[in-house]
Amino acid sequence: MRLFEYSSFSSKPIFSVVNLFVYGAYLLATIENVNGFEGLIQLPTSGSFSINKSGPLIVNVTDFGAVGDGITDDTNAFQDAWEIACSSRSRANIVVPDGQFIVGPINFTGPCTSKVTLRPCQHAPKAMTFHRCNYLRVNGIVMLNSQQMHLAFTSCVKVTVSRLKILAPSGSPNTDGIHISASTHVTVKECTIGTGDDCISIVGNSSRIRITNITCGPGHGISIGSLGKSNSWANVHDVSVRGAFLSNTENGARIKTWQGGSGFVRKIIYENLMMENVSNPIIIDQYYCDSTKPCSNQTSAVGISRVSFARIKGTSATKEAIRFACSDSSPCRNLYLQDIELVSPSGGSTSSFCWEAYGSTTGDVYPPPCFPSAKTITQPVIQHSNFTSM
């Protein structure tokens, strides 16, 4: 099931209160009952460690000692299955049959000698990290109640993540749904994520990231950053988030950087987003401070430019629906707003805040933009390189 059909959605970006409640009902239906996820996931009931001339190597975790009885620790079996699949000279599918597998946080390390797919499973490990993995697919898994990041990709190339369901309590800290770090050519699509932290976070030295068809809530939204902590250098560029429904989240489309950092964020697109009761629907924060003590003022900053927010509609839980808090020494430049409509849940007024933020607008933008001497243009200046997902 697709949340949006983009051929029509992109060409006629018309939103209404009816749309909002339809997508809200979709979100509630998808996250209400994990056991009711069968319509999206077809669970394999059998499999073996085998290969045939016309297909991939099939690696079933039960062939490596996984029991799935809800009692036995199956972590080593999953790790052994990964080692076989990763070292295969042919394509490999890791199969996890239905069951109650007890698996601790686990690291899957590459590079692998061929393409690897982790096939649907109803109870995946609570936390999985893929490191230096290329040509990887992770499809149709359910991850519940991790006490840390659920799914992380570090230094990976050409990854496709699809049809995932990730759920954790809204008050659980540092439980990002999908975390992307130092990776490139990553596609994330058709996922439902509700956590106590970012639904999706993209951090330093990542590029060519494509995110589509996401349901997010609760959580902290779809975020780039944080970047530049402890005076570090970082860059994120060529990222698009196209098609998402965010409900009861702390943030919507967010970029966050620490004072004192260096590097850049550029060529970012957020478009075709529906918001429901989101506290900060559109936010750039170059004064991010995730600390119990006040952060010291510093002049250097990660530069932010060429960021587009287009066709974003819905309701803001706070008066300030758009916030651009940018650095005195490194202002945000070439920001772009198109067809924005963010009102209060009761239909009341909202406002924008700009500090050292410069950009342009087109179409109807509400709340009114706050760029100094804003220009109205007909086309955004942001273009992305194309790549084909696996």
What's the full length of the chain, in residues?
Answer: 390
Structure token digits, residue 292:
């119990």
**Residue 60 per-residue DSSP state:** E
Is 197 a residue of the active site?
A: yes
Structure token digits, residue 288:
């991010």
Catalytic site residue from 74, 176, 197, 238: 197
- Measured on CA atoms in the order 169, 175, 176, 177, is the torsion positive or negative? negative
Catalytic site residue from 150, 179, 185, 220: 220
Determine the 3-state secondary structure of 183 from DSSP: coil
Structure token digits, residue 189:
């699509």
How far is 171 from 189, CA to CA, in rounded Å? 25
How far is 131 from 146, CA to CA, in rounded Å? 19
Is 150 a residue of the active site?
A: no
Residue recorded with tokens 């194309």:
386
| Cα separation values, 324 from 81, 142, 337, 356, Å | 47, 35, 12, 8
Write down the H helix ranges in the chain.
Answer: 6-11, 17-31, 75-87
Annotate 277-314 with b (16+ C-beta within 10 A) or e (fewer).
Answer: bbbbbbbbbbbbeeeeeeeeeeebbbbbbbbbbbbbbb
The number of C-alpha atoms within 13 Å of 252 and in the hemisphere containing its C-beta is 33
How far is 353 from 122, CA to CA, in rounded Å? 44
How far is 180 from 310, CA to CA, in rounded Å? 23
- Measured on CA atoms in the order 35, 40, 44, 50, is the torsion positive or negative? negative
On whether the CB atoms of residues 237 and 224 are closer than 8 A, the answer is: no
Annotate 330-368 with b (16+ C-beta within 10 A) or e (fewer).
Answer: bbbbbbbbbbbbbbeeeeeebebebbbbbbbbbeebbbe
Catalytic residue ranges: 197, 220
